[in-house]
């Protein structure tokens, strides 16, 4: 599945990959169900849907700290993944890609975020802020989300608030 062209407007991305001991269809069923983030996202309080499923899906992430982000899905392929735009309503949007892959009989999910913050325009002026602040923060965030998803697929138990630690931007 090819990335949506939306990613081309960004300089860099932050990506994380997690291995899973379940089938591709089981993993897909979890990440494609309505309000799925409520099951495994440790910083998400609520994940109400506006439209679901497929391209043009839309939902909201209500974080434990009160932050509210809208997600609009622009690419969707069954059992493979999806691409979406995320951000505060009517503000700058980041691009996010979720991809399921099998590598050497091991199932993996990669989440790649192309954040708008310090990531468009001049690479020279954005380099230090992106690699010193944005990338480490997003890496920590993605680690927690993927650990939550792995925990849920293994135990079938909902992840607790901040189960894998807190985050400066997304939890309290």
Domain that holds residue 79: 5-155
Residue 13: pLDDT above 90?
A: no
pLDDT in tens, 24-77: 999 999 999 999 999 999 999 999 999 999 999 999 999 999 999 999 999 999
Integer distance in angstroms from the first to the last C-alpha of the chain?
36
171 domain residue, yes or no: no
pLDDT over threshold 90, residue 14: yes
Query: Does residue 20 lie within any of the structural domains?
Result: yes
Q: Residue 165: inside a domain, yes or no? A: no
What is the distance between the alpha carbons of residues 9 and 7, in angstroms, rounded to a whole number?
Answer: 6
pTM (global) more than 0.75: yes
Better pLDDT: 12 or 52 = 52
Please give the Cα distance from 53 to 110 (Å, whole number).
20
Provide Rg for the chain, Cα atoms.
Answer: 15
In a domain, 164, yes or no: no
């Amino acid at each position: 599945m090819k990335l949506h062209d939306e990613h081309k407007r960004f300089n860099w991305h932050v990506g994380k990959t997690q291995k899973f001991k379940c089938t591709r269809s089981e993993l897909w069923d979890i990440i494609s169900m309505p309000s799925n983030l409520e099951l495994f996202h440790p910083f998400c309080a609520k994940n109400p849907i506006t439209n679901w499923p497929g391209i043009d899906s839309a939902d909201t992430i209500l974080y434990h700290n009160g932050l509210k982000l809208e997600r609009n899905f622009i690419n969707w392929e069954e059992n493979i993944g999806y691409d979406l735009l995320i951000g505060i309503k009517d503000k700058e949007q980041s691009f996010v890609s979720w991809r399921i892959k099998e590598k050497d009989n091991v199932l993996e999910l990669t989440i790649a975020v192309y954040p708008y913050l310090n990531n468009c325009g001049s690479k020279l002026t954005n380099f230090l802020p992106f690699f010193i602040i944005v990338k480490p923060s997003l890496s920590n965030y993605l680690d927690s989300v993927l650990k939550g998803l792995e925990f849920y697929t293994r135990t079938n138990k909902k992840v607790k608030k901040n189960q894998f630690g807190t985050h400066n931007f997304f939890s309290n």
